[in-house]
Structure 1
Amino acid sequence: MDYAQYMLDEMPAHHEWAFHDIKTSILKCTRWQVEETTDFLNCPYHYFCDSNYVGDYPAFIDLVVLIFITYCFMATTFFTLVDLTTTKRGVPNNLILRKRKYLVPSGPILLPLVLLILAKGQRINTIFPIAHVGPAILLLLQVSALAFRNEADQDLRYAVLEASTVSGILHASLYVDAVILPYYTGLDALMGSRLSGECTSCVCRNEPLIVGGKSAFYRGLSRTTLSIIFALCSRMVCRIYGEERISVVIRNTLEGLSWFFVAFDSVFLIRASPEWVNCRVVCIGVLGLICFNVFGKVYRFLGWLELRRMQRKAEVSSIP
């Protein structure tokens, strides 16, 4: 339970609605302004919120978002299992590969919808608050982009699809930061300040208020996002200019590093957000997807090694 909710529960009944409005205006504030103060002893830093919160969307919108994210997770799981099945059989299903990009969250159809949800995340705050599950949604998008390559017949079309995926992941990380950083900034304003009474959101502090506060434990625009962007760009280079040995090594290294960072973020969010049930559930599912994908890649790598060994053995046996 966070500090604001604790205070809300402890307030007398006739003050609950008033404090709820104060809490909402502070937690949803996107722009803080500092004012000059003459009371350097009791109020050395005086801040007020310089933005207005329009209000939450109806619960119906949250329900639609919940259904959509559930579908994204199920689609990612389904195609991950399909990849594992085709890996064992050794025969890819071309029809599924062609249709897959339209059904996964990192594809050209669903990716704009995910970005729209994250862009409007501050107002999605009833049943399925994006301030809590936004990082998990970003992880799901990153896993989808790493696991499923864009399939296209022409290099130009492939480059456009891959570039749109890179741009989408970058924008998604920025949108997540735009949702969670004001929340943690406001949370720090509630925990480390006292209301001055001059306005609804006016607070006095003994230290400066920083973006994200002291409790922001996750950033969307992080090393994970950057490593995934570099990995996708390396895929594009290998596809357009050919798979040279050095470029393939760089691509595989970046992809492996990206998988490690995504897995690390998933475990970190599971441990760091025990009170956010929705976030933990999605992160646990994402971690399971990561395990399946890594298993599939290891299985393919071992199969490739076995094939190389058999080819070399055949070459040696054919020498008179």
Structure 2
Amino acid sequence: MSYDQMLAPLFGAGRSAWRAAQQGGGGGDAVTRQILKCTRWQLEETTDFVTCPYHYYCDSSYPGDYSAAVGFLVAAFAAYCFLSTLAFTVLDLVRGNGGGGAPAAGVRGIKRKYLLPSGPFLLPLVLLALAKGQRVNAVFPLAQLGPALLLLLQASALAFRNEADGDIRYAVLEASTVSGVLHASLYLDAVVLPYYTGLEALRWSRFSGECASCLCRMEPLVVGGTAVQYRGLSKTALAIIFALCSRMVCRIYGEERLSAWTRSALEAVGWVFVAGDAVYLVGWVAAEGGVVGVAAYSLVAGLVFLSVFGKVYRFLAWVETRQSQWKSSLCHSVV
């Protein structure tokens, strides 16, 4: 199966950039792969300032894709992360326990933190998948679907607090989650930014013929391109990190009214950014025309909005309870 055929079910076939790269037959597929996986572009001097003011070529090599079996394992792992996060989100909605008060229930005696992608057991596997994601291009290509896995991790970290008996153990768990979210964002950028740059190079450049990957452009080539605005390490990741750090501070030093409101505000900002990223990615993939990509990102977006709905519902219930208590105390004071 050619590289073009693998991408076609995700982002639609017949893109003009792909056709241009495929004109060379079997060698064109290798050129397309090299451009989409290029991690270092070199700018050469040119004397043609009219039709080729910027001349680039790829100065990095690509070791090749992992086998389809690896892609299948990553796809199965991503599906499990989605289902486990969805299951515990629904359980929290049914129980109405807020997802982080008393020790959370698990499955058959296994604590919840060991079953979630943000937990201490599965988080290293998420990091491993993203760290090796540039070579995972069959079944579950992380260059296209990696942001969905990061969104699952971010939603899980926001929705479910780490549970531990002592403050020191809790601090270690929360710090590992913060470090995991940060490293996952960096690993994802290492996967998607070369891909976005390659898309920009293929779609808005022409081959000069000087070498297989030599391209002529009318504008400078920007890292990550200009068509896709999503980044792994962004305000979303920073907002989640601040929210997790505020949880840790509240747990260790006590939860006063000001610190509790600060933590809640940071968590709310994190949810807003995660929901915004989910909507943006669904719109971007839909514009590209890929059915599988739209389905994957739509499922993740639905999970995010289900979590947001649960948070809003519990907040409104808390406000209603507080109002009832205030009215009851006011009536007693009048009597």
The residue number in structure 1 matching 2:200 is 188
- The SS at the match of 1:33 is strand
Tell me if structure 1 keeps the 8 A contact 2:37–2:134: yes
Pairing partner for 2:68 from 53, 56, 59: 59
CA pair 280-178 structure 1, distance change in 2 beyond 3 A: same
Q: Give the whole-Å Cα distance in 2 for the aligned partners of 1:42 and 1:317.
A: 82
Are 2:210 and 1:210 aligned? no
Following superposition, the deviation at residue 242 of structure 1 comes to 0.7
Tell me if structure 2 keeps the 8 A contact 1:132–1:278: no
The residue number in structure 1 matching 2:32 is 23
Tell me if structure 2 keeps the 8 A contact 1:86–1:92: no
Q: Give the whole-Å Cα distance in 1 for the aligned partners of 2:219 and 2:304.
A: 41
The residue number in structure 1 matching 2:322 is 308
The residue number in structure 2 matching 1:100 is 112
Q: Give the whole-Å Cα distance in 2 for the aligned partners of 1:21 and 1:63.
A: 23
Are 2:16 and 1:6 aligned? no
Pairing partner for 1:118 from 130, 141, 166: 130
CA pair 279-160 structure 1, distance change in 2 beyond 3 A: farther
The residue number in structure 2 matching 1:291 is 305
Following superposition, the deviation at residue 310 of structure 1 comes to 4.3
Q: Give the whole-Å Cα distance in 2 for the aligned partners of 1:66 and 1:203.
A: 34
Q: Give the whole-Å Cα distance in 2 for the aligned partners of 1:94 and 1:20.
A: 50
- The SS at the match of 2:229 is coil
The residue number in structure 2 matching 1:156 is 168
The residue number in structure 1 matching 2:79 is 70
- The SS at the match of 2:114 is coil
Q: Give the whole-Å Cα distance in 2 for the aligned partners of 1:287 and 1:89.
A: 20
Following superposition, the deviation at residue 8 of structure 1 comes to 5.2
Following superposition, the deviation at residue 316 of structure 1 comes to 4.6
Following superposition, the deviation at residue 206 of structure 1 comes to 2.5
CA deviations over 1:133-156 (Å, ceiling 9, x no partner): 111111111110111100011111
Q: Give the whole-Å Cα distance in 2 for the aligned partners of 1:217 and 1:277.
A: 21
Are 2:150 and 1:138 aligned? yes
Q: Give the whole-Å Cα distance in 2 for the aligned partners of 1:94 and 1:126.
A: 37
CA deviations over 1:16-48 (Å, ceiling 9, x no partner): 211111111111100111122333344322211
Tell me if structure 2 keeps the 8 A contact 1:86–1:93: no
Q: Give the whole-Å Cα distance in 2 for the aligned partners of 1:93 and 1:155.
A: 14
Q: Give the whole-Å Cα distance in 1 for the aligned partners of 2:46 and 2:98.
A: 72
TM-score, reference length from structure 1 = 0.91
The residue number in structure 2 matching 1:276 is 290
Following superposition, the deviation at residue 283 of structure 1 comes to 2.1
| Number of residue pairs the alignment of both structures matches | 316
TM-score, reference length from structure 2 = 0.87
Q: Give the whole-Å Cα distance in 1 for the aligned partners of 2:329 and 2:51.
A: 84
**Range with greater deviation from structure 2 (282-291 or 24-33):** 282-291
**Range with greater deviation from structure 2 (273-282 or 241-250):** 273-282
Q: Give the whole-Å Cα distance in 2 for the aligned partners of 1:89 and 1:230.
A: 20
Q: Give the whole-Å Cα distance in 1 for the aligned partners of 2:182 and 2:75.
A: 22
Sequence identity, in percent? 58
The residue number in structure 2 matching 1:48 is 57
For residues 27-42 of structure 1, the aligned pairs below 5 Å read 27-42=36-51
- The SS at the match of 2:57 is strand
Q: Give the whole-Å Cα distance in 2 for the aligned partners of 1:246 and 1:89.
A: 20
Q: Give the whole-Å Cα distance in 2 for the aligned partners of 1:22 and 1:137.
A: 28
Q: Which amino acid aligns with 1:7?
A: A
Q: Which amino acid aligns with 1:38?
A: T
Q: Give the whole-Å Cα distance in 2 for the aligned partners of 1:88 and 1:241.
A: 23
CA pair 3-172 structure 1, distance change in 2 beyond 3 A: farther
Following superposition, the deviation at residue 241 of structure 1 comes to 0.9
- The SS at the match of 2:47 is coil
- The SS at the match of 2:111 is helix
TM-align CA RMSD = 2.3
Tell me if structure 1 keeps the 8 A contact 2:98–2:311: no
CA pair 292-102 structure 1, distance change in 2 beyond 3 A: same
Tell me if structure 2 keeps the 8 A contact 1:136–1:279: no
Q: Give the whole-Å Cα distance in 2 for the aligned partners of 1:312 and 1:191.
A: 62
Following superposition, the deviation at residue 49 of structure 1 comes to 1.0
CA deviations over 1:181-232 (Å, ceiling 9, x no partner): 1112112222222222232212222322111122223111111111111111
- The SS at the match of 2:38 is coil
Q: Give the whole-Å Cα distance in 2 for the aligned partners of 1:293 and 1:46.
A: 48
**Range with greater deviation from structure 2 (302-311 or 151-160):** 302-311
